Amino acid sequence: MKGYGPTDPQESPRFAGISTFLRLPHTTHLDGVDVAFIGLPFDTGATFRAGARFGPKAVREGSLALRPYYNPAQRVAVFELLSAIDYGDAPVVPGFTDRSLDSMAAALTALHAAGVVPVAFGGDHTVLLAELRAAAQRHGPLALIQFDAHSDTWDEYFGEKYTHGTVVRRALEEGLIDPARSTLMGMRGGLYAPTDHQDVGDMGFALYPWDDLAQFGTQAVAGAVERAAGKAFLTFDIDFVDPAFAPGTGTPECGGPTSMQALALLRACRGLDLAGADVVEVLPDLDSSHLTATLAATVAYEILSLVACAP
């Protein structure tokens, strides 16, 4: 094992001890660390159902079901290649979006400065702006790979510019992402205007609504990886998955991929040079039998495996 890794389940059962992600050590010391998992417990930007501030805690609990040493789908022994920790949660200021974004970005900036790849748990999707601010400060404009039922490119909600539905547009305006290298995938459900998807294309993004992605499958994802060409950020909104498989989320959209399909598409991101990643919008109060949290934890583990497989 390289550096930090999980507690041995043959010595301490998975239901015992403090619930860190994958039972990794909780530390803020970054020497010898490749990847740090960090919670972003913020949901002031939610426009429908609130409660995703408790998402990080639920994802950590969901991860206890996983056996993370060898990933057969990606054919990698993760902790022989990576040293990973649970960094804890970034500070937030409940009810104040701007101050919370600043606090989260500061915590994430410390990880980037140490050469660590942050993998975050939301929190509503507004947290993406803090993540991209911190990552772009070190790496410059990033390719964005987004799995989501919604594009999050609207200009405002209720007159507010900073919400989970506007975060990608704000990131573009701030020069944090390069639309020519970015791909948004999985969008479905009703729109506010017939031009909404066209607007995304006009911004320069490649767009695969779910009906198209379902047809092109991993071929579309492979194209997105090739298009990214350089440092990238992968964001996975759990509402990308059909609510039959991920009911605990703030803005569910029926008719999406199964958990099996979603994981296959995510694994097709092999080859990305990730500066950071996240899984967001887990709302545990609506999560029957911990289905959503367990899936979100699996997504985070698959992202960790992508980092391990990076060229």
**Could you tell me the CA-to-CA distances from 155 to 30, 95, 133, 152, 192 in Å, in that order?**
38, 21, 19, 9, 12
3-state secondary structure of 62: helix
**Could you tell me the CA-to-CA distances from 143 to 37, 54, 225, 305, 306 in Å, in that order?**
21, 28, 9, 19, 16
Q: Is residue 65 a contact partner of residue 297, using CB atoms and an 8 Å limit? A: yes
End-to-end CA distance of the chain: 19
Return d(Cα 41, Cα 89) in angstroms, integer: 7
Range 21-308 classified under CATH 3.40.50.2300? no
* pTM flag (> 0.85): yes
Q: What is the pLDDT along the chain (311 residues), one digit of tens a residue?
A: 677 777 766 666 667 678 899 999 999 999 999 999 999 999 999 999 999 999 999 999 999 999 999 999 999 999 999 999 999 999 999 999 999 999 999 999 999 999 999 999 999 999 999 999 999 999 999 999 999 999 999 988 888 899 999 999 999 999 999 999 999 999 999 888 888 888 999 999 999 999 999 999 999 999 999 999 999 999 999 999 999 999 999 999 999 999 999 999 999 999 999 999 999 999 999 998 899 999 999 999 999 999 999 87
Beta bridge partners of 86: 26, 37
CA-based R_g, the chain, Å: 18
- Tokens 């909780």 sit at which residue? 26
**Nearest Cα residue to 149 out of 239, 213, 260:** 239
For the chain, where are the alpha helices, taking DSSP H only? 55-63, 78-81, 97-113, 127-139, 167-173, 196-202, 210-216, 218-228, 259-267, 291-308
Contacts of 262 (CB under 8 A, 6+ apart): 147, 240, 241, 245, 256, 295, 299
Return d(Cα 276, Cα 105) in angstroms, integer: 13
Q: How far out from the chain centre does Cα 57 lie?
A: 15
Per-residue pLDDT tens over the stretch 210-225: 999 999 999 999 999 9
**Could you tell me the CA-to-CA distances from 61 to 14, 43, 295 in Å, in that order?**
10, 19, 11
pLDDT value for 3: 79
pLDDT value for 158: 87
Amino acid at 159: G
pLDDT value for 14: 66
pLDDT value for 289: 87
3-state secondary structure 251-304: CCCCCCCCHHHHHHHHHCCCCCEEEEEEEECCCHHHCHHHHHHHHHHHHHHHHH
Return d(Cα 66, Cα 72) in angstroms, integer: 13
- Residue boundaries of the structural domains of the chain: 21-308
